[in-house]
Amino acid sequence: MTGIVIIGTQWGDEGKGKATDQLGERVDYVVRFSGGNNAGHTVVVGDEKYALHLLPSGILNPHCIPVIGNGVVVDLQVLFDEIDGLLARGVQADRVLVSANAHVITPYHRVIDRVTERFLGKRRIGTTGRGVGPAYADKVSRMGIRIQDLFDASILRQKVAASLEQKNALLVKVYNRPVISPSAVADELLSYADRLAPMTVDTGTLLNDALDQGKVVLFEGAQAHHLDVDFGTYPYVTSSSPIAAGACTGSGVGPTRIDRVIGIAKAYTTRVGEGPFPGELLDEVGEKIRQAGNEFGTTTGRPRRCGWFDALIVHQAARINALTDVVLTKLDVLTGWEQIPVVVAYDIHGERHDRMPVTQTELHHATPIYEYLPGWSEDISNARTFEDLPATAQAYVHRLQDLIGVRVSAIGVGPGREQTIAIRDLL
């Protein structure tokens, strides 16, 4: 039995896609368990670059079965566009399996996402505008549309009509938008049913059977711990559970089936969208990191907000997710600094905090307390063993490991599949 979970420990874009793809060579199933096409996972294979949003990164390994779990919200147009895009590039992407219980992002969810953001104005979340939040809201309100509803046209039409009755009133009266036609939405969704039917499965049964047979199942997180609806910087979060526990509820396996939880941590910090970020660098230093790390969103192209490594946020993620290993990514991006600051504590109203504060108000008032570590100037992108790294880079990794409290088991030194230092086996 080998169940492995990969999650982001910061605010997303840590390099989960690359880590998943790399392990994918030795994995039987790769499962997405939360989020939707708000995710953007870039995987570089040789000269080819793939930007995956909804499909699990395991799709790029031909022997690996990609699965979309019940915890994901599925935009069907995006699903088939992504599959067709990969098929055109020679990737057998039509082998993906989708949970019958996964919820569907409908055209009205996309509209509501955008109009509510506009309505919020200064208080906006900075969502990806993909309809993800409204689709989860409907799921929890028991007004959602599930994949299986597409196979019963009469039920689907009833559900869409019921959901739109309330939403159309809101769209017209509050947001001053045109009415959305229930029959047009239902027709569009039903147009995908035939293609979807052979891909639809009960992911709980599928994955439990696979684990019983000794198969290796990798759960690929999207988003990250600090975007989690319970543990993140609420309300500046996504609307699902991207934490490790979400792998269970989002796919249908019990907690005892998870053997390893791997946290992906970038060697510095980034965030897209609104919300508190105590170590954010709004100056030319932040700009230099953004350029060096090419920190522009895979999904929306927005420039990512940048700062130095924040040990408090990764430590918190390590605790709540019971991480067994950390993969430290993008260490190569930090080459060329004489000194590298690391956030080791916060100053909140003159008081030092070595751990994240209890309340969001305190986090909004936190200013970073840095420790300064010596940098390195050597190009490390060809390093393949820990010993290949300059002594100061080794010391940087050791210090981060101490601060996080979890062993660093691999280090990324470039976007390519081979640009990784493996310290210990992750499977």
Return the residues of window 396-425 that contact ligand IMO according to CB under 6 A: none
Q: How far is the CB of 36 from ligand IMO (least distance, A)?
A: 8
Backbone region of residue 227 per phi and psi (left: phi > 0; alpha: psi in -120 to 50; beta: other values) = alpha
E strand or H helix at 138: helix 132-140
How does strand 366-374 pair with strand 420-422?
unpaired
- For residue 41, indicate whether it is catalytic: yes
Give the active site residue among 13, 21, 113, 332: 13
125 binds, among ligand IMO, Mg ion, ligand GDP, none (CB under 5 to 8 A by kind): ligand IMO
Output 298 or 360, the one with its CB closest to ligand GDP: 298
Output 127 or 208, the one with its CB closest to ligand IMO: 127
127 binds, among ligand GDP, ligand IMO, Mg ion, none (CB under 5 to 8 A by kind): ligand IMO
Among residues 108, 294, 250, which one has the least CA distance to residue 184? Answer: 108
- Whether residue 19 contacts residue 327, with contact meaning beta carbons closer than 8 Å, is answered with yes
Q: Which listed residue (20, 34, 38, 251) binds ligand IMO by CB under 6 A?
A: 38
Q: Which residues of 166-179 are buried (b: 16+ CB within 10 A; e: fewer)?
A: ebbeebeeeeebee
E strand or H helix at 316: helix 311-320
- Whether residue 263 contacts residue 278, with contact meaning beta carbons closer than 8 Å, is answered with no
Q: Which listed residue (18, 103, 109, 130) binds ligand IMO by CB under 6 A?
A: 130
Distances from the Cα of 345 to the Cα of 26, 116, 363, angstroms: 39, 36, 12
Return the residues of window 17-46 that contact ligand GDP according to CB under 6 A: 17-18, 40-42, 44
Output 103 or 130, the one with its CB closest to ligand IMO: 130
Q: How many residues bind ligand IMO (CB under 6 A)?
A: 23
Separation CA 406–CA 20 (nearest Å) = 19
Residue in the shown chain whose Cβ atom is closest to ligand IMO: 273
Output 24 or 415, the one with its CB closest to ligand GDP: 415
- For residue 75, indicate whether it is catalytic: no
Q: How far is the CB of 236 from ligand GDP (least distance, A)?
A: 17
Q: Which listed residue (273, 412, 421, 426) binds ligand GDP by CB under 6 A?
A: 412
79 binds, among ligand GDP, Mg ion, ligand IMO, none (CB under 5 to 8 A by kind): none
Give the active site residue among 21, 28, 41, 325: 41
Distances from the Cα of 352 to the Cα of 197, 314, 348, 366, angstroms: 56, 18, 6, 9
Our finding on whether 13 is near ligand GDP (CB under 6 A) is yes
Our finding on whether 227 is near ligand IMO (CB under 6 A) is yes
Bridge partners of 52?
Answer: 41
Output 57 or 420, the one with its CB closest to Mg ion: 57
Measured in whole angstroms, how far is the alpha carbon of residue 230 from the centre of its chain?
Answer: 15
Which string of x and - marks every residue 270-309 that binds ligand IMO (by CB under 6 A)?
--xx------------------------x-----------
Angle, to 10 degrees, between the axis of helix 107-120 and the axis of helix 132-140? 110
Bridge partners of 98?
Answer: 68, 200
323 binds, among Mg ion, ligand IMO, ligand GDP, none (CB under 5 to 8 A by kind): none
Output 107 or 126, the one with its CB closest to ligand IMO: 126
Separation CA 161–CA 301 (nearest Å) = 35
Angle at 23 between CA 400 and CA 63, to 5 degrees: 170
E strand or H helix at 134: helix 132-140
Annotated catalytic sites, by residue?
13, 41
**Residues forming the site for ligand IMO (CB under 6 A):** 8, 12-13, 38-41, 125-128, 130, 132-133, 222-224, 227, 238-239, 272-273, 298
